[in-house]
Structure 1
Amino acid sequence: MHFSHYMNDWLYGAEGYYASYHPIGKKGDFYTAVSTSKFFGGTIAKHILARIDEGFLTPDALICEIGAHHGYLLADIIEFIHTLRPALLQTLRFGIVERFGALREAQQNYFDESFGNAVCLEHYSDLSELDEKCVFFIANEIFDAFGCELLYKGKIGRVENHKVIFDVESPAISALAGKYKQDRGEIATGYESFAEAMAQTSKKFEFMSFDYGELEARSDFSIRVYQNHQVYPLFDENLKLEEAYGKCDITYDVNFTHVKEAYEAQGVQCVQYATQLVALVEMGILDLLAILKEHAGDEIYAQELEKVKILITPSLMGERFKMIRFVKE
């Protein structure tokens, strides 16, 4: 099978990695911004409030996370909206697009534990179920989890007995490779159909996503497997694909130009591309820390400051992770 099908089955098949709940953080395979600090979600909440005040988002908009894993990010956003502007919890709606029943159940349980009856969580299995007037979409590390083809000197890879063999011709992938000046590396499949589906969900929306990658494709392989906080390049001789398949996370660097062009083809404007450091600071993460310092003790402030440093320090998550933001109006 083509590598893109192999990767989709690895992540999303009946026994795939994302088909069941996996912990993140110290007990899991990897860290995310969400597992690092609640102030990541808090800063997004602050941005949502700013967009309501500016008049783009309506007070009854749907705040919708895509690929929410446990639901921590959306819950953090709700928690900070409650702290900063509690009246909006009576008018805003909150939802998650999640295809897997097991994850929907875990998310619902977490929301029940966190909010009781104070927040109603809406679930959708696919973007096509949405027909809204105004939505704020948020996603964290979603574009690196799309299936991709592997390209090497004009041929794409197929997988046979968990071995990648480069001997398949693909004019469509070769055209994208020429466009992005790649003679090897990953070329994502599915960005175009995802952008098209989102464009049809709402009369107007804003979509913010965080991921690691660059604005230009690297003509090299970045695809790798995460296992117990160890990173193994896909072609590492120490990595046994048959053992990692479906049990570990597999990911690659995002070509953000590919994402951008997929959305622009749908008439959706890219309004910002920035490092996570710049994005979080511009949205007010330091202002939130200042509020915490004013109302909490020095010990709690110091603890949260150390977590936020991980998010924005250039050598940690600050420069490697990027934020891209789209608007349809």
Structure 2
Amino acid sequence: MDRKFSEYMTDWLYGKDGYYASYKEIGKKGDFYTAVSTSRFFGGCIAKHIVSLVDEGFLKKDSTICEIGAHHGYFLADVVQFIYTLRPELLESLKFVIIERFEDLQEFQKNYFKESFGDAVSLTHYKSLSELKCENAFFIANEIFDAFPCELYYKGKTARVEEDHNVEFDVDNEWVSQKAQKYHKDRGEIAVGYEEFAREMEQAADKFEFMSFDYGEMQARPDFSLRVYKKHDVIPFFQDKDEEGNEIKRDELFGSTDITYDVTFEHVKDAYADVGVEFVEFKAQMVALVDMGILELLEMLKENVDEKIYKQELEKAKILIMPNFLGERFKMIRFRKEKK
């Protein structure tokens, strides 16, 4: 039975046997790297930023710190660890939350926090942002917008997927066409769900800051970026053969690999503007992390550990900020909602 590409991608990633429905390794043993799997100083920068928001009075000492799409929970755990290093008394008042739809991943995250912090830090789970209601919050997400389902658009037509995983562009979809026209695309991906996500976040907290990291640009790419990651190999979605000349079979990739695309941040920005949330800034990850104090954190480490450990951590942190690694390709976008 034919279906929309967004439905197909949702099943690929989040269906019963989808890629994210069960625990997956990230990093060297997995299909791809993330900033979180690269260096714990990624979480350290966020912790330092949270402390600065408390100091400036934007966040209260009993605010909710919420990660969305945490996977292993390593990121939020790194944030907690660095808050303990920088301002330990805040752990007695801050509330830590993860939004995670899958129960087995919730269980993994709970166990990891228990192993890491014992009873010193409590972790609360919600399956969606719509379940969370709080007064003051800091929301953080890493590589979430690229994991929203999308529709595929090509010269006025939207894609459908046939039972054999073949993609045909022959559907008229007014919403997709309007988005494509708005973002000056004659082909490419149109994300589905940004508007609802922004609306749920706006309703979840009276006052908040939201920071997200992802790969993409403010303006839309002029072509398709849809691709599959398998054991660190990047397979363009519309590629028929691999480098050895073997046929690429989508039915074998379906559900067992990660599928993703570049984010059009202008679409994200518009989704938040539509619900009255203020856009604050957009910058390369390397600039964002330096601005938030990664160099100061590394200097603190240098003063407190032996040189071998410092050099090891420095090399990992460099990957986060070097332009030829994650520093330039990944972007940070930040929003704020002030209390009315």
Shorter-normalised TM range: over 0.9
TM-score (norm 1): 0.99
The letter for the 2-side match of 1:101 is E
Deviation at 1:282, TM superposition (A): 0.2
Deviation at 1:87, TM superposition (A): 0.5
CA distance in 2 between partners of 1:21 and 1:136 (Å): 26
CA distance in 1 between partners of 2:80 and 2:161 (Å): 43
Question: Any idea what the Cα deviations from partners look like across 1:116-162, whole Å, max 9, x if unmatched?
Answer: 11110000011111110001000000000000000111101111111
Is 1:288 aligned to residue 297 of structure 2?
A: yes
Deviation at 1:257, TM superposition (A): 0.2
CA distance in 1 between partners of 2:221 and 2:89 (Å): 46
Corresponding residue to 2:226 among 223, 241, 244? 223
CA distance in 2 between partners of 1:138 and 1:82 (Å): 18
Cross-structure match for 2:38: 36
Cross-structure match for 1:303: 312
Cross-structure match for 1:134: 136
Larger deviation, residues 50-59 vs 292-301: 292-301
CA distance in 1 between partners of 2:76 and 2:227 (Å): 27
Question: Any idea what the Cα deviations from partners look like across 1:184-203, whole Å, max 9, x if unmatched?
Answer: 00010100010011100010
Is 1:265 aligned to residue 279 of structure 2?
A: no
The letter for the 2-side match of 1:73 is F
Per the alignment, in what secondary structure is the counterpart of residue 85 of structure 2? Answer: helix
Per the alignment, in what secondary structure is the counterpart of residue 91 of structure 2? Answer: helix
Cross-structure match for 1:92: 94
Is 1:209 aligned to residue 212 of structure 2?
A: yes
Cross-structure match for 1:62: 64
Cross-structure match for 1:79: 81
RMSD: 0.6
CA distance in 1 between partners of 2:250 and 2:46 (Å): 37
Cross-structure match for 1:253: 262
Corresponding residue to 2:201 among 195, 198, 201? 198
| Aligned structure 1 segments of 4 or more residues deviating by more than 3 angstroms | none
TM-score (norm 2): 0.96
Deviation at 1:64, TM superposition (A): 0.5
What are structure 2's unaligned runs of at least 5 residues?
242-247
The letter for the 2-side match of 1:39 is F
Per the alignment, in what secondary structure is the counterpart of residue 220 of structure 2? Answer: coil
Cross-structure match for 1:109: 111
CA distance in 1 between partners of 2:232 and 2:33 (Å): 8
The letter for the 2-side match of 1:166 is F
The letter for the 2-side match of 1:129 is E
The letter for the 2-side match of 1:304 is E
Deviation at 1:240, TM superposition (A): 1.4
Is 1:26 aligned to residue 28 of structure 2?
A: yes
Larger deviation, residues 234-243 vs 251-260: 234-243
Cross-structure match for 1:45: 47
% identical aligned pairs: 64
What are structure 1's unaligned runs of at least 5 residues?
none
CA distance in 2 between partners of 1:321 and 1:243 (Å): 29
Cross-structure match for 2:191: 188
CA distance in 2 between partners of 1:10 and 1:77 (Å): 30
Aligned length: 329
CA distance in 2 between partners of 1:18 and 1:178 (Å): 32
The letter for the 2-side match of 1:94 is F
Cross-structure match for 2:245: none
